[in-house]
Amino acid sequence: MLSGKTILIGITGGIAAYKICELIRKFKKSGANVKVVCTPNALNFVTKLTLQNLSQNEVYVEEFDVKSWKPEHISLADEADIMLIAPATANTISKIAQGIADNLLTSIACAFRKKMIIAPAMNCNMWNNAAVQKNLSILKSRGIEILEPDSGFLACGYLGKGRLCRLDKIFDAVVEALKCSDKLKGKKVVITSGGTIEDIDPVRYISNYSSGKMGFALANNAADMGAEVVLITTKDFEAPYKIVKVKSALDMQSALDNEFDTSDIIIMAAAVADYRVKEMCAQKIKKGESDVLTLELVKNPDILAGLCERRAHNSLDKPLIVGFCAETENLLQNAKEKINKKGCDFLVANDISRSDIGFSSDDNEVTILDYSGAIIKLDKAPKRVIARKILELISK
Ligand code: CTP
């Protein structure tokens, strides 16, 4: 199942380190090449010899135990298809979140550009510590998958959340990630996200409630599936792929123009403002005597329709173009009209009238229309899951 794949397992100094021996066996049985890197503290809980025998590879601990011209933290990061850190202590989690590279494991994590999964294990009070939670959310925001610990009796005598999650859950997460890791290999995927910002004057603007989360989830998943990703967004995201920060619809259009020729897939998840102020005031608009202020708006270009037109005009067979559509009523009817009008290959329709899905929510429920008229409904799920399903569908 995993032959040809290299899994780099990082073990840190927690009692659950002994459980990883079993996991290494499972990965080996599935055909994976397993490489193990330990923090010096991990060796208080499990021996190097055990890990070496089980992984059938050298076990790496010391950063400056140099054997070749290429430093180990770079070559191990380059060779691996995935990095799993389990168990991950509060200390290692926080160091990785802050970019601290003070041992071999944290240096590799700092240099690692592919899919990373972290399975924390610690005392429940440490797990609930605000700094640890903040650092975990930083890691999540960078697309790192966190397998939350289970609740139960902890080795330290406490009852609470902090036990390393079940080994089969870790195993399945790694297998799932590797299964998808080359579905978009060799493809360049350009994704837009967030609501555009149209300036009125130096202190005011027109925008919308789009959080950019759906586009970010798509970008993270596309990267996990092996694509070269470019995220063009109005929001502040951090990720190991190219991010182009834009503001207005016109900025977004020119960023897309720059990427169009080299892209294989373009996904327009951004909420582009349909209108902008005809002339932005150079100075702050003063209140004045009148009770009414009239702003003259002009139409923004329909970027999605323009991209589809450019592809058709040049008789190109790429990029594949995916639109999103945000509706508060008549979802399917409006979506059908939009896919025809804009000429894209897929349209992902969102009901933004519901507060439990869509804009700024972590969940979504979408209906996907394709150029042939087929309709696929995806049930409510976290945006990460919806994003994966959308990409799997279009990658076919
Ligand atoms: N879109 C675009 N340029 C615009 C407006 C929208 O590229 N000026 C894209 C969006 O990124 C999305 C799709 O078109 O992928 C549909 O956006 P939506 O806001 O649902 O539709 P509109 O075309 O703006 O139509 P309306 O606002 O009338 O529903």
- The string of pLDDT tens digits covering residues 67-103 is 777 777 788 999 999 999 999 999 999 999 999 999 9
User: Does one domain contain both 129 and 209?
Assistant: no
Strands 33-38 and 375-382: unpaired
Determine the average pLDDT of the residues in 247-256: 98
Predicted confidence at residue 201, as pLDDT, reads 97
* Res 262 pLDDT > 80: yes
What average pLDDT is seen over the chain? 94
User: Does one domain contain both 252 and 326?
Assistant: yes
212: confidence class by pLDDT, cuts 50, 70, 90: very high
Is the CB–ligand 1 distance for residue 252 below 6 Å?
Answer: no
For ligand 1, atom 14, the nearest C-alpha belongs to 304
Q: Is residue 137 part of a domain?
A: yes
Predicted confidence at residue 21, as pLDDT, reads 98
Crossing angle for the helix pair 303-313 and 331-342, to the nearest 10 degrees: 40
Please answer whether residues 292 and 305 qualify as being in contact, where contact means their C-beta atoms are separated by less than 8 angstroms: no
Please answer whether residues 159 and 152 qualify as being in contact, where contact means their C-beta atoms are separated by less than 8 angstroms: yes
User: Does one domain contain both 30 and 157?
Assistant: yes
Q: Is residue 16 part of a domain?
A: yes
- Centre of ligand 1 to C-alpha 245, Å, is 19
Identify the H or E element spanning 228.
strand 228-233
Question: Which CATH number is 48's domain given?
Answer: 3.40.50.1950
Domain final residue pick, 149, 180, 211: 180
Identify the H or E element spanning 238.
none
Q: How far is CA 348 from the centre of its chain?
A: 18
The single-letter code of the amino acid at 200 is I
- From 274, 334, 344, the mutation candidate for ligand 1 (largest count of ligand atoms within 8 A of CB) is 274
The single-letter code of the amino acid at 8 is L
Question: Which CATH number is 366's domain given?
Answer: 3.40.50.10300
Which of 38, 156, 165, 308 is catalytic? The answer is: 156
363: confidence class by pLDDT, cuts 50, 70, 90: confident
User: Does one domain contain both 256 and 151?
Assistant: no
User: Does one domain contain both 168 and 244?
Assistant: no
Cα 250 to Cα 254: distance, rounded to the nearest angstrom = 6
User: Does one domain contain both 89 and 70?
Assistant: yes
User: Does one domain contain both 175 and 29?
Assistant: yes
Predicted confidence at residue 1, as pLDDT, reads 84
* Res 288 pLDDT > 90: no
382: confidence class by pLDDT, cuts 50, 70, 90: confident
The single-letter code of the amino acid at 35 is K
User: Does one domain contain both 38 and 171?
Assistant: yes
What would the two tokens of residue 376 be? 């696929």
- 90-104 burial by CB neighbour count: b if 16+ within 10 A, else e? bbbbbbbbeeebebb
Q: Which residues pair with 208 in a beta bridge?
A: none
Rg (CA), the chain: 24
Q: Which residues pair with 344 in a beta bridge?
A: none
Q: Is residue 388 part of a domain?
A: yes
Please answer whether residues 291 and 236 qualify as being in contact, where contact means their C-beta atoms are separated by less than 8 angstroms: no
Q: Is 180 a catalytic residue?
A: no
When divided into structural domains, the chain yields a total of: 2
Q: Containing domain of residue 85, as a range? A: 6-180
68-77, 235-244, 313-322: least confidently modelled range: 68-77
For ligand 1, atom 8, the nearest C-alpha belongs to 302
User: Does one domain contain both 158 and 224?
Assistant: no
Q: Is residue 135 part of a domain?
A: yes
User: Does one domain contain both 167 and 202?
Assistant: no
219: confidence class by pLDDT, cuts 50, 70, 90: very high
User: Does one domain contain both 161 and 249?
Assistant: no
Other CB atoms within 10 A of residue 114 CB: 17
Cα 170 to Cα 86: distance, rounded to the nearest angstrom = 9
Domain final residue pick, 155, 180, 205: 180
- From 272, 321, 352, the mutation candidate for ligand 1 (largest count of ligand atoms within 8 A of CB) is 272
Three-state DSSP class for residue 186: coil
Q: Is the dihedral of CA 190, 198, 305, 307 positive or negative?
A: negative
Sole residue written with tokens 């076919």: 396
Q: Is residue 1 part of a domain?
A: no
Strands 59-60 and 33-38: parallel
The single-letter code of the amino acid at 236 is D
Other CB atoms within 10 A of residue 278 CB: 9
Cα 97 to Cα 100: distance, rounded to the nearest angstrom = 8
User: How many degrees, rounded to 5, is the angle at CA 234 between CA 231 and CA 240?
Assistant: 35
The single-letter code of the amino acid at 343 is G
Share of the chain above pLDDT 70, in %: 99
- Centre of ligand 1 to C-alpha 274, Å, is 7
- Centre of ligand 1 to C-alpha 349, Å, is 11
Please answer whether residues 234 and 250 qualify as being in contact, where contact means their C-beta atoms are separated by less than 8 angstroms: no
Predicted confidence at residue 113, as pLDDT, reads 87
Predicted confidence at residue 66, as pLDDT, reads 67
User: Does one domain contain both 242 and 391?
Assistant: yes
Predicted confidence at residue 134, as pLDDT, reads 97
Predicted confidence at residue 164, as pLDDT, reads 97
Residue with the bigger pLDDT between 275 and 328: it is: 275
For ligand 1, atom 24, the nearest C-alpha belongs to 274
Is the CB–ligand 1 distance for residue 212 below 6 Å?
Answer: no
Domain final residue pick, 123, 146, 180: 180
